Amino acid sequence: MKTAQKKLLQWYEKNHRKLPFRITKEPYKIWISEVMLQQTRVNAMLEPYQKFIKKFPSIKKLADSTEEEVIRHWHGLGYYSRAINLQKGAVYVRDNHNCVFPETYREAIKIPGVGPYTARAILSIAYHKSYAVVDGNVKRVLARYFLFDKNVSLPTSATILQEMADNFLNRDNPSEHNQAMMELGATVCTPKPDCKACPVQSSCLAFQSNKQNDLPIQNKNADKIKINMKFFLLDYKGKVLLIKDNQRRFFKKIYTLPFLIEGKDLDNSYQNDVRFTDYLNSINYQCYQFSAKHSITNHDIAVSLCKSSIQNSQISFLNNFDFKWVDFEDIRNEFPSSISDKLKTLMKKYMEPSNHLEELPLTKMLALKQRFSKNK
């Protein structure tokens, strides 16, 4: 084994975080963790991961569940297509591999939702196959260690970085090596690297050239898009309305409280459903002055809440939508996003009569809002 790889493994053995998906060799658990980690930070995914594994402890359990059940237990992770693909993948493995994750790349890649990265990660970590993985953290380590001075965001760079990772792979222990690279990127070779604590400092080309803070070169983050999301708590006989709409910009796959999006210079993909806007114009509702912050990919979102009771005569309108009525207490389960937690906290904390604006139809409220923003 080469010196750098050996040092890396020794460092990993002593220093790695005891994450539940790093102390197992079960391909199913590694599969779930890798999919969750694709869009979610470790700290944010740990609790949902444990709950998900508890609810669906095996490929068979996941495959035998309904899509809605799986989405519900994806609570707080967002990007629900990942949950849907995972379930489809589990059905595929149940039906084609007798509930055992396949051991070859050729078979693994056929599983719905399993791309090259996920296949490499599962096969190397669970089955010790010689595949190197390159996630965002590993990319940073490689770019620095090999002094890669091209933009790492370019597709051509991805091929070169994968080749570097393949060449650097410790083929005697690909499982620990890959995990060590990921851990090094997550805890030491971070955006502000702690080179003093790094096991491969002596052979790192960026460190030798004092360029560790200049690499990797990547696209600057685009400015975040600022929007307001106004959620509506519409109740009828003690139940709360949830709507699902696969045409809207956010939350296409899950039931949510109905919402409107507001913001400057937004393109058509943010457009509100005109039927719903018209409907709101026809009812009185109260909007609360409090709001919460949320973010979805490149969006900064101010979340606020409005409330109204629906009358018998206004019910038939809902036949235009995919909707359901739920108990207020069940909102968190039925609207499985961390945004529902924020809304619920706000509701409980602030829904006092003194906190709401005067009852206003939507058009008047928007006009008022515009006037306020002009005066700022």
Residues making contact with ligand SF4 (CB under 6 A):
141, 144-145, 188-189, 193, 195, 198, 200-201, 204, 206-207, 212
Measured from the CB atom, the residue of 206 and 227 that comes closer to ligand SF4 is: 206
Helices 136-145 and 174-187 cross at an angle (nearest 10°) of 90
* DSSP structure class, residue 323: E
DSSP calls for 270-321: GPPPHHHHHHHHTS--EEEEEEEEEEETTEEEEEEEEEEE--GGGSGGGGGS
Whose structure tokens read 């006037």? 371
Q: Provide the 10 A C-beta neighbour count for residue 156.
A: 9
> What's the CA gap between 81 and 242, in Å, rounded?
19
Compute the least distance from the CB of residue 52 to ligand SF4, in Å.
32
Measured from the CB atom, the residue of 180 and 339 that comes closer to ligand SF4 is: 180
> What's the CA gap between 347 and 232, in Å, rounded?
11
**DSSP strands (E only) in the chain:** 225-236, 239-244, 259-262, 286-296, 299-309, 322-327
Measured from the CB atom, the residue of 37 and 198 that comes closer to ligand SF4 is: 198
The active-site residue, picked from 34, 176, 183, 334, is: 34
Compute the least distance from the CB of residue 339 to ligand SF4, in Å.
36
Measured from the CB atom, the residue of 200 and 260 that comes closer to ligand SF4 is: 200
Compute the least distance from the CB of residue 69 to ligand SF4, in Å.
42
C-alpha neighbours within 13 Å on the C-beta side of residue 53: 18
Q: How far apart are the first and last CA of the chain?
A: 65
Compute the least distance from the CB of residue 141 to ligand SF4, in Å.
5
Compute the least distance from the CB of residue 208 to ligand SF4, in Å.
9
- Active site annotation includes 34: yes
Burial class (CB within 10 angstroms; exposed 0-12, middle 13-18, buried 19+) of 37? buried
Measured from the CB atom, the residue of 21 and 207 that comes closer to ligand SF4 is: 207
Measured from the CB atom, the residue of 136 and 263 that comes closer to ligand SF4 is: 136
Q: How would you label 56-86 residue by residue, b for 16+ Cβ within 10 Å and e otherwise? A: beebeebbebeeeebbbbbbbbbbbebbbbb
Compute the least distance from the CB of residue 12 to ligand SF4, in Å.
13
Residues involved in catalysis: 34
